[in-house]
Amino acid sequence: MQIKINMSSIPSVDLSDFISNDVSRKNKFIQEIGQAYEEIGFVALKGHFLSQDLVDSLYKEIKSFFDLPLEIKDNYEIHSLGGQRGYTSFGKEHAKGRKEGDLKEFWHFGQYVDNDATLESAYPANVEVEELATFNEVGKTTFKMLEKTAKYVLRALALHLGLKEFYFDEYILNGNSILRPIHYPPILEEPKNAERAAAHGDINLITLLMGAQGKGLQVQNHDGTWIDAIAQPYELMINVGDMLSRHTNNKLKSTIHRVVNPSKELWKTSRYSIPFFMHPKGDMNLNVLESCISEKCPKLYDDITAGEYLNERLIELGLLKN
């Protein structure tokens, strides 16, 4: 049975359906999330592995970090890493095709490699914040719980695509994923053609977003209309990234989205959001799946690895030099 998707709002799904022992509930989740990602590219997801205590602890830690004096935060900006770990200062990143920097500062937690010395040496080490005793511990726990949630979402999508359920598991194990706490500071003067986050698509396989409970995040649907993407309490907003869209020949949609500036009376308020960018290992081939190629839908993309594609995009974003 085809489920009708409302293109003026973001569909909501429950991961507990997929991980239940009830076959009909599992199939219902696969159909719901698969169709939503073909139609609009976003879902709001409940039933994930984050406890409210962990969420509260993470927000406490990241607010404490971004409240530190700029001269302390600057000590954690490592320019040689292209923003892959540690702190990235205000206005440094811009959307593809834009010159104006986004009105944000952010931090990057990277992968905690398990039993792979080659990858452990290839990835930059996570940066330890000396001023906050539990900042890194809470960040690591959150990273792991979001990674676990993403793994099950990708298992459902693999089944939707007619692949083996565990198709993505080998590629995302020790993948080059990133947890990015973002601070959008109060706006002090009229922005000159800049937004908190200009319209963009994500680079990775899927993105899991904490902090979409208030207005700000907007998604562009197929007719070009911008719609508010507002999660309910305890929901994560999850969207398809460009790597997964490319791998599926655009069967699963990587949707353009943005974070708009608030109305002027709210300029003095901060906004925090925390996306988790699920990346595979760099040697994963993003070659278009044969099952997604047909006479009606010819192959749209050249063959490329995830690592090659990521490097291209980081240069476009101004985070790496060509």
Domain coverage including residue 37: 12-316
CATH number of the domain enclosing 225: 2.60.120.330
Task: Work out the pLDDT band at 1, boundaries 50, 70, 90.
Answer: very low
Within a domain: residue 207?
Answer: yes
Chain-centre distance for alpha carbon 61: 20
Query: 225 vs 29, which has greater pLDDT?
Result: 29
Within a domain: residue 265?
Answer: yes
Q: Which pLDDT belongs to residue 185?
A: 85
Q: How many domains does the chain have?
A: 1
Q: Give this prediction's pTM.
A: 0.89
Within a domain: residue 321?
Answer: no
Q: Which pLDDT belongs to residue 29?
A: 98
Alpha carbon distances (Å) from 14 to 3, 43, 240, 314? 15, 10, 17, 33
Query: 81 vs 303, which has greater pLDDT?
Result: 303
Q: Which pLDDT belongs to residue 191?
A: 63
For the cut 50, the answer to whether the pLDDT of residue 116 exceeds it is: yes
Q: Which pLDDT belongs to residue 309?
A: 94
Instruction: Provide, rounded to the nearest whole percent, the portion of the chain with pLDDT above 70.
Output: 87
Determine the average pLDDT of the residues in 104-117.
Answer: 94
Q: 179: which DSSP letter?
A: E
Contact criterion met (CB below 8 Å) for 274 and 62:
yes
In total, the chain counts a number of residues equal to: 322
Query: 80 vs 54, which has greater pLDDT?
Result: 54
Task: Work out the pLDDT band at 3, boundaries 50, 70, 90.
Answer: very low
Within a domain: residue 5?
Answer: no
Within a domain: residue 3?
Answer: no
Q: Which pLDDT belongs to residue 4?
A: 46
Contact criterion met (CB below 8 Å) for 105 and 62:
no
Within a domain: residue 278?
Answer: yes
DSSP for 276-320 reads EEE---TT-B-PPPGGG--SSS---S---BHHHHHHHHHHHTTSS
Q: Which pLDDT belongs to residue 152?
A: 98
Within a domain: residue 239?
Answer: yes
Q: Which pLDDT belongs to residue 227?
A: 85
Task: Work out the pLDDT band at 212, boundaries 50, 70, 90.
Answer: low
| Dist. CA 164–CA 158, nearest whole Å | 6
Span between the terminal Cα atoms of the chain, in Å: 49
Within a domain: residue 6?
Answer: no
